[in-house]
Structure 1
Amino acid sequence: MGSHMLSLLKQEKIIVIVRGVSQSSIFPIADALCSGGIKFLEITMDTEGALFSISQLREKYENQLYVGAGTVLDIEAAKEAIQAGAQYIISPNLNEQVVSYCVERGIDVWPGTMTPTEMYRAYQLGASAVKVFPIGTLGSNYIKEVKSPLSFIEMIATGGVNKENILPILTNGAAAVGLGGNLVDKQLIQQKNYSELTKRAQTFVRLAKGVGNDETVQSY
């Protein structure tokens, strides 16, 4: 069950999750991430002014960022996010109504799953990929194990992705990863240290593409 949006994501390999930041910092964050090579940005619905931010990001970064809504827990939130311009919908859970609603409208939906049963059900409903959550707890080998019988299901690993496990997760079969606090550090944002945010984004982009031994991949 492929899609154009998923094909683009598989090339980029990273979705950056922005949660709980002020509206005034959304554009500086987006600018910093764009400069660092990020193409997919997810604004979680529990973030202040999420719908407005999604709408504004779509308008300003039309040819630079693919903007989605995260933490979409029910069908009402899905409707609002799509109306605001979200190009894909992500949730921490498997809500069948949300999946069906998005599929019917041709919007990519990547619901949260943990068990093979949930993964297969999401696939049956038409989800182009599933979010495997929380990968930090499950471990990078979990992707390899569930992909063995479910090789036809595309998986996006989120929850605890960091510099140490991003490459093993992708190598073990994840189509992409979701990066949150390990990239979008709240302290950096409070300090308005957006140049460091760009550097971290560059590091993760290189790691995701398997360039872990490049001298430009610095520790932080």
Structure 2
Amino acid sequence: MALTKDARRTIHEVGVVAVIRAADWRTAVDVVEPLLAGGVRGIEITYTTPDAARAIAAIADRHGDDLALGAGTIREAGQATAAVDAGADFLVSPGTDEHLAAEMKATGALTVLGALTPTEVMHATRLGADIIKVFPAGLQGPGLLKALAEPFPEVDFVPTGGVTAENLPEWFAAGAVAVGAGSSLCSSQALARADWSEVERRARRFADAFAAVR
């Protein structure tokens, strides 16, 4: 089933975004199939993956409207533009930098900036963040997100780092609109072994957990 390409609505719709850090671009492309088979339709290819833009282009070509496709770990000038040119629907930075935020916004793609404190949330929203990535969320858990959501009820928060299928309900109860999942969903060991059945199994656990709280 095709997703709407209103990127903000799509993030709400998919609920779970797989944060993929692969050793090579081909592995990043290959892991998408088992993730989709398991029910996870949010895909973020990080720029720690070699040739990340090439992976994004291949995934966009292969899967089209079946997923929400983003680029993550944006830390350098030019990465946001290259990712959108390759087919990314949303852009994610682990922190908030004024110059990067301006480039990300200029692409017209959904802009997700990282923050962990109220001051950082205020800075990111002033720079035009559409969504705030709470990172690394696992340092203080869902209680941190709940505390942030109270003074910022208008902000869409996506916690990343420390999110598992088991604690996913706690993050949504605390105010998350979606979650980002990295090693708990696509572990480096599973990627190295190309253990796609393990990735699909984990994806299904996340998808089931999201379906239960949706």
TM-score by length of 1: 0.89
The CA deviation string for residues 159-184 of structure 1, in whole angstroms up to 9 with x for no partner, is 11113321101111011110001110
Instruction: Tell me what 2:108 maps to.
Output: 106
The CA deviation string for residues 123-153 of structure 1, in whole angstroms up to 9 with x for no partner, is 1222111100111112111111111111111
Instruction: Tell me what 1:18 maps to.
Output: 20
Instruction: Tell me what 2:55 maps to.
Output: 53
The aligned amino acid for 1:31 is E
- Work out the number of aligned pairs and report it: 209
Instruction: Tell me what 2:129 maps to.
Output: 127
Q: By how many angstroms is 1:208 displaced? A: 1.9
* 1:189-208 alignment, distance < 5 Å: 189-208=191-210
The aligned amino acid for 1:189 is L
In structure 1, what is the Cα distance between the partners aligned to 2:51 and 2:127? Answer: 30
Aligned Cα RMSD in Å?
A: 1.6
In structure 2, what is the Cα distance between the partners aligned to 1:192 and 1:46? Answer: 18
The aligned amino acid for 1:201 is A
SS in 1 for 2:54: helix
- The runs of at least 4 consecutive aligned structure 1 residues that moved more than 6 Å come to none
Q: By how many angstroms is 1:117 displaced? A: 1.3
Q: By how many angstroms is 1:105 displaced? A: 3.1
Instruction: Tell me what 1:76 maps to.
Output: 78
TM-score by length of 2: 0.91
SS in 2 for 1:61: helix
In structure 2, what is the Cα distance between the partners aligned to 1:50 and 1:86? Answer: 11
In structure 1, what is the Cα distance between the partners aligned to 2:158 and 2:26? Answer: 29
The aligned amino acid for 1:23 is W
The aligned amino acid for 1:135 is A
In structure 2, what is the Cα distance between the partners aligned to 1:129 and 1:123? Answer: 8
Segments of structure 1 that go 5 or more residues without pairing to the other structure are 212-220
* 1:37-52 alignment, distance < 5 Å: 37-52=39-54
Instruction: Tell me what 1:85 maps to.
Output: 87
Say if 2:19 and 2:45, in contact at 8 Å, map to a contact too. yes
